[in-house]
Amino acid sequence: MITAITATEVASPNAMKFKADTMFFYSNAYELFKYKVLMNELKAIAEINEEIKSIVYAAENISLTATNAMLVARQAGINAVGFSVVARELRMFSEKMTTVMQGLSGLIYRQVVATAGKRHRTRNLVLLTQAGSYGELAQTRIAPACMHSLADVDEMEQLIASLVRELQITMRRTGKQCATGVVIAHSAAIEAAHGGVMTPVLRQIAQGVENVVDNIAVRVRKLESRLTETGL
């Protein structure tokens, strides 16, 4: 019995050290995994933001083209009244798309901040978990901090979930606006045929606008798929 007690006493510190080392290893591995996942999320968000910028650039080009089309239609006189109306609608479409995309970019920025905040709070929680592996006394002392840190992580996750819902609503609204833009662009091609002597010029403008609007619609669909793939 005495020998057994002595052996237990000798083995106990080693067992505690092995447990602490094991917890440290797995905590570090978990922290590294979470860090890589979050860094990938940040990279994906940055790439999505670049895609949004390209859509905004295309929408702004439509606005300039539509303004030019209105001037050309004015030169064509009464024959191009219909085209002039469609050009105004295209400019309105462009302005709405630019506003929506800028709002989406703002949401993406908030997502970046929230994701970075989650990464920081997750790291704090992992460090506290490591500290708690050194015994009951350490666990008792850091328990309040662990609870507070866990609450911070939960709060960030709720914020991210809220931003995801807002992003989804914005993308659905954007998809509907793109569908409207495609219809308007097609109408421009129809109205261009009634431009009298300016018909060739109006058709060229209408074709260019139609191509850009169709391209925007394709980019928006790809962007929506990208957001879904990244879990946004």
* pLDDT grade for 183, boundaries at 50, 70 and 90: very high
40, 44, 75 from 227: Cα distances, Å: 13, 9, 44
**Which residue, 101, 147, 100, 97, is CA-closest to 121?**
147
Rounded to the nearest integer, the mean pLDDT of the chain is 78
CB 224 within 8 A of CB 175: yes
Higher pLDDT, residue 31 or 93: 93
Q: What are phi and psi of 150, to 5 degrees?
A: -65, -40
- Given a cut of 70, whether residue 76 has pLDDT beyond it is yes
Domain ranges, ordered by start, for the chain: 13-229
34, 99, 167, 220, 225 from 175: Cα distances, Å: 33, 14, 12, 7, 12
CB 83 within 8 A of CB 73: yes
Q: What is the pLDDT of residues 82-141, one digit of tens each?
A: 888 999 999 999 999 989 888 888 888 888 788 888 887 887 777 777 776 666 766 677
Q: What was the pLDDT predicted at 92? A: 92
Length of the chain: 232
Task: Give the rounded percent of residues in the chain with a pLDDT score beyond 70.
Answer: 78
CB 191 within 8 A of CB 80: yes
